[in-house]
Amino acid sequence: MNTNNELDRIVQGFLKDRVVAPPRPKLLRDSLDNTATTPQTRRRFMGRWLDRDEGARRGTADHDHPPPGDRRSRLMYSATAVTAAVAIAALAVNVIDTTPTQPSAGAVTTHVVAADDSGDFSTIAEAVAAAAEGDTVLVRPGTYVEAIVIDKDITLAGDGPREDIVISAPEDGPTVDFGMGVQRFEWPYTLLVDDTQADVRELTFAGAETAVVVDGGSPSLSDLIFDGNEFGLLIESGSTATVTENLMTGGGGIELADYSEPVIEGNVLRGGPSIVGSMGDGGVVRDNVLTDPVNGIGLGGIGVDEPTNALIERNTITGASGYAISTSTLLGAGAPVIRENTISGSRNGIQVGALSGDAGSADGGSDVATAQPLVSGNDISAELVAISVSWTDAEVVDNTVHDSFNGIVLFGGGSAEVMDNEVEVDGIGIDIGANTSPSVDGNSACGGSASIKIHDTATPSMGENTTCDAA
């Protein structure tokens, strides 16, 4: 007789019995007494299993569990203790678990695309159409002129240097409707990611008409090159896409619609591309580098409109044609967080609040928006205005402003808090506009024409600020 197998049979029978009846340790003891093994092995087995017949009860009391009030509870406590003990006993007597391994889920297939016909497919669109959920499509170096639709959770990735795997939109190819409200247009595309969690990476999208469109879903787009695109990357339908470590050069940037909430992180945008559009509360724009961004509606580098509580942090922006960062809204209801960004050589630095005339009464009355954007820890130099606050109760705290014409400008109404900033500029350090009622305290302000200027009808609360004599 194989003693280990016999012990295993007894244990399994005992466990089965405990599922349908109260604990019966005597049954196990009697069964083990009839097994051809040594008394020491039987005692060790019983002791480790049942803690000398009292383990389950004592363990429950020691851990302050409530006493089991019904049969089901008793069985749950008892089964837990015995199951743990069985595992220890099995190791002690070298019992082998013969439970068969469950088969894995459906196999994942890799489809290879090669322009020279050396792969499974010669076009990306064919491979994507053939792929099932969870599959991977690998694209070898070559030039692919086609329009692709991904409507399933797959991986589309380059199989080689990303700059050698080039995808362009075909002439007179398909378009997609993109925009916000009545401002919608037909945009040509080379890749449409339609409501999926697809992973797209290590590819190059080139050509003026080429665009990648993300329509809803939560896809990941990483390590891509966008080269000279007129439209670039378009994100809409409330998408929560993750856009990381991509390179955009000399064309369209990242445009948002429908209050999408992407995470846009670690990208490099050079020579024109910007990040603009309607961003929802969960949107994040972080650790991006923008050089010489241009935007036709004057938002410059990073511009999110409509009510938003987006997080914009640790970006480096140089040479923006308009505002480096703007969060203008139609209602002035947004409370974005704009912190620890570095801005230089731009027309203007940071603007927060409502667009002129869209919120607030002419006399700064009760219609002024009460949202509290946070502008904190930024380092800014700008040709005209470093920080502009309009029609909001923004908190402007701990910023460093230098090499600018004007520093912090407040206008239109609102009760901003301007605290602990260091401002040294050629014009006005802190300009407190008409109808505003800010709290201004703890700042070091130095301006060539005025360190702090208070306009008529402004009613600021002035604390202890350090100023220098104007020239």
For the stretch 399-411, pLDDT in tens is 999 999 999 999 9
70 vs 393, more confident: 393
* pLDDT value of residue 92: 37
CB 348 within 8 A of CB 385: yes
- In this structure, the number of other CB atoms found within 10 A of the CB of residue 285 comes to 29
Backbone angles phi, psi at 270, to 5 degrees: -125, 140
Residue 162 or 391, more confident: 162
pLDDT at position 2: 47
Domain assignment present for 257: no
Contact 272, 294 (CB under 8 A): yes
- Counting Cβ atoms within 10 Å, is residue 383 exposed (0-12), middle (13-18) or buried (19+)? middle
Catalogue the E-assigned strands of 202-292: 204-206, 211-215, 220-222, 225-227, 232-236, 242-244, 247-249, 254-260, 263-265, 268-270, 275-279, 284-286, 289-291
Provide φ and ψ at 335, rounded to 5°: -130, 65
Q: Which residues is 390 bridged to in the sheet? A: 353, 411
Q: At what angle do helices 3-20 and 25-33 cross, to 10 degrees?
A: 160
Residue 254 in tokens: 């990242």
Residue 290 confidence class, pLDDT cut points 50, 70, 90: very high
Chain centroid to CA 357: how far?
33
Mean pLDDT across the stretch 243-270? 93
CA distance 193 to 151: 6
Give the span between the Cα atoms of 112 and 21, in whole angstroms: 58
Q: Which of the residue ranges 70-84, 286-300, 414-428 would you say has the lowest mean pLDDT?
A: 70-84
Pairwise CA distance, residues 376 & 419, whole Å: 10
Name, in order, each residue with C-beta under 8 angstroms of 344's C-beta and a sequence gap of 6 or more.
317, 318, 319, 380, 381, 403
Asked, for residue 107, whether it belongs to a domain, the answer is no
Last residue of a domain, one of 68, 93, 118: 93
Lowest mean pLDDT among 55-69, 233-247, 356-370: 55-69
d(CA 252, CA 227): 9
Q: How far apart are CA 414 and CA 370, in angstroms?
A: 7
Distances (CA, A) of 44 to 31, 49, 91, 93, 177: 15, 8, 12, 10, 74
Query: How confident is the model over 83-93, as pLDDT tens digits?
Result: 333 333 333 33
Q: Choose among 55, 130, 129, 42: nearest CA to 93.
A: 42
DSSP SS3 for 442: coil
Domain boundary among 93, 126, 146: 93
Question: How many residues appear in the chain?
Answer: 471
- Per the structure, the count of domains in the chain is 2
Q: Helix, strand, or coil here: 61?
A: helix
Whether 29 is covered by a domain: the verdict is: yes
Tell me what pLDDT residue 54 has: 39
Confidence of residue 167 (pLDDT cuts 50, 70, 90): very high
Domain-located, residue 445: yes
Q: Which residue has the higher pLDDT, 63 or 280?
A: 280
Three-state secondary-structure class, residue 21: coil
Q: Taking residues 147-154, what's their average pLDDT?
A: 97
Percent above pLDDT 90 for the chain: 55
- HEC profile of 40-59: HHHHHHHHHHHCCCCHHHHH
Position 322 in a domain: yes
Count of CB atoms within 10 A of residue 202's CB? 19
The domain boundary residue, chosen from 93, 119, 139: 93
Q: Is residue 147 part of a domain?
A: no
Instruction: Provide the pLDDT for residue 321.
Output: 87
pTM as predicted: 0.75
What burial letters (b/e) apply to 406-427, b meaning 16+ CB within 10 Å? bbbbbbbbbbbbbbebbbbbeb
Is 179 part of any domain? no
CA R_g for the chain = 33
Structural domain containing residue 31: 3-93
Task: State the pLDDT at residue 75.
Answer: 27
- Dihedral over alpha carbons 185, 191, 194, 200 (to 10 degrees): -140
Contact 138, 113 (CB under 8 A): yes
63 has pLDDT over 60: no
Question: Each residue of 206-230: pLDDT tens digit?
Answer: 988 888 999 999 999 999 999 988 8
67 within a domain of the structure (yes/no): yes
Mean pLDDT of 114-126: 97
